[in-house]
């Protein structure tokens, strides 16, 4: 690996070596890091041979600190959702890119800052907004109907006690702090110290996904990546739970000529005869060594594929 002149990122991203290998960078190629976060993937991509990295992040804090984390002239940082990458690249006169990396979900930098309200490991205000705009988690939980909260917990947290937890949240309003919410969830779920998993994890995940429209962003981001990659370009996506992984698995299956299946966000593909991706790799999980060093990696999965020369679905439908 060559020196990048960049400072070491404070958090090592999950499956970083595997992502770099899947992207198979050649010297001087242009890569999009769609989820810049703390800069870990970008650091590895620059060290791995990228000629230029365009880093996207909707979190203004990530953009603000990113220039000092990775002070490299080959890096361009853009405060925007990765679902907008093709539009933004075109507006900036950047052509189709050689590779794209996406690390889905909340970043370690967000989780580790109590004031961002993403985690119950340390008490903080119930915020959870990735872009610092829109409803906070507290505002949502203190105004939403009980049935709506239950639906979010069920759909995005796969929480079997969704109704009981939603009822407890409404009864305890106003709820303003992460520690408050975690305690409410534990009582409603019958949690006892020493149990293997904390039920608050599922509730926090569900609320965060809902507030930030993360699954919509992922579906739209995959389609944007399809439009932004040149023929032969590589796409690598790391997910952290089954809801995300199912979306990526379905996308690659459809776009590589597998059986098309629509969703509420996308109708069924009208012309599956021209695959836009090929050589879809089998999912990769973290090694035992990585899991020992980083327990947060336990549910991570990497899926990757290579862009064909077929026009994107959007181009075919126009």
Q: Which residue's structure tokens are 């409410």?
A: 184
Which is more confidently placed, 108 or 184? 184
Per-residue pLDDT band at 157 (split at 50, 70, 90): very high
Which is more confidently placed, 11 or 313? 313
Query: What confidence score (pLDDT) does residue 254 get?
Result: 96
Query: What confidence score (pLDDT) does residue 3 get?
Result: 37
Per-residue pLDDT band at 9 (split at 50, 70, 90): very low
Residue 73 and residue 236: Cα distance in Å, rounded?
24
- Please determine, for residue 272, whether its predicted confidence score (pLDDT) is greater than 60: no
**Average of pLDDT values for 200-207?**
96
Domains contained in the chain, CATH given: 16-109+214-317 (3.40.50.150), 132-211 (1.10.150.170)
The overall average pLDDT reported for the chain is: 90
Model pLDDT for residues 273-318, shown as the tens digit of each residue: 699 999 999 999 999 999 998 888 889 999 999 999 999 987 777 6
**Average of pLDDT values for 195-220?**
95
Closest CA to 33 of 2, 1, 69, 5: 69
- Please determine, for residue 4, whether its predicted confidence score (pLDDT) is greater than 50: no
Query: What confidence score (pLDDT) does residue 141 get?
Result: 98
Contact 306, 275 (CB under 8 A): no
Virtual torsion, Cα 40, 43, 304, 55, nearest 10 deg: 90
Q: In what order do the strands lie in the sheet with 75-79?
A: 75-79, 50-57, 29-33, 97-103, 229-239, 301-307, 277-278
Query: What confidence score (pLDDT) does residue 314 get?
Result: 78
- Please determine, for residue 265, whether its predicted confidence score (pLDDT) is greater than 60: no
Bridge pairing between strands 29-33 and 97-103: parallel
Distances (CA, A) of 121 to 56, 93, 117, 205, 239: 27, 43, 10, 13, 22
Largest CA distance in the chain: 59
Model pLDDT for residues 60-85, shown as the tens digit of each residue: 999 998 888 778 899 999 999 999 99
- Identify the weakest region by mean pLDDT among 66-80, 114-128, 130-144: 66-80
């Amino acid at each position: 690996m060559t020196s990048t002149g960049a400072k070491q990122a404070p958090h090592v991203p999950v499956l970083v070596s595997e992502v770099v290998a899947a992207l198979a960078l050649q010297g001087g190629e242009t890569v999009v890091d769609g989820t810049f976060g703390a800069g870990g993937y970008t650091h590895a991509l620059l060290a791995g041979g990228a000629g230029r990295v365009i880093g996207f992040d909707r979190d203004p804090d990530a953009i603000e600190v990113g220039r000092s984390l990775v002070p490299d002239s080959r890096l361009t940082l853009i405060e925007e959702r990765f679902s907008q990458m093709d539009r933004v690249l075109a507006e900036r006169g950047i052509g189709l890119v050689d590779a794209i990396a996406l690390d889905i979900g909340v970043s370690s930098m967000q989780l580790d800052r109590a004031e961002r309200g993403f985690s119950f490991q340390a008490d903080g205000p119930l915020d959870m907004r990735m872009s610092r705009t829109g409803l906070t988690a507290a505002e949502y939980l203190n105004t939403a109907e009980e049935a709506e909260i239950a639906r979010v917990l069920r759909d995005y947290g796969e929480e079997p006690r969704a109704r009981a937890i939603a009822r407890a949240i409404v009864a305890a309003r106003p709820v303003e702090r992460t520690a408050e919410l975690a305690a409410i969830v534990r009582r409603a779920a019958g949690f006892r110290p020493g149990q293997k998993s904390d039920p608050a994890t599922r509730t926090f995940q569900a609320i965060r996904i809902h507030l930030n429209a993360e699954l919509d962003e992922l579906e739209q981001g995959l389609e944007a990546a399809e439009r932004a990659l040149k023929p032969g370009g590589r796409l690598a996506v790391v997910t952290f739970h089954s809801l995300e992984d199912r979306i990526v698995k379905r996308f690659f299956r459809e776009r590589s000529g597998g059986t098309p299946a629509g969703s509420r966000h996308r109708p069924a593909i009208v012309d599956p005869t021209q695959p836009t991706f090929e050589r879809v790799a089998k999912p990769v999980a973290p090694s035992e060594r990585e899991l020992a060093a980083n327990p947060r990696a336990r549910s991570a999965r990497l899926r990757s594929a290579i862009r064909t020369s077929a026009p994107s679905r959007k181009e075919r439908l126009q």
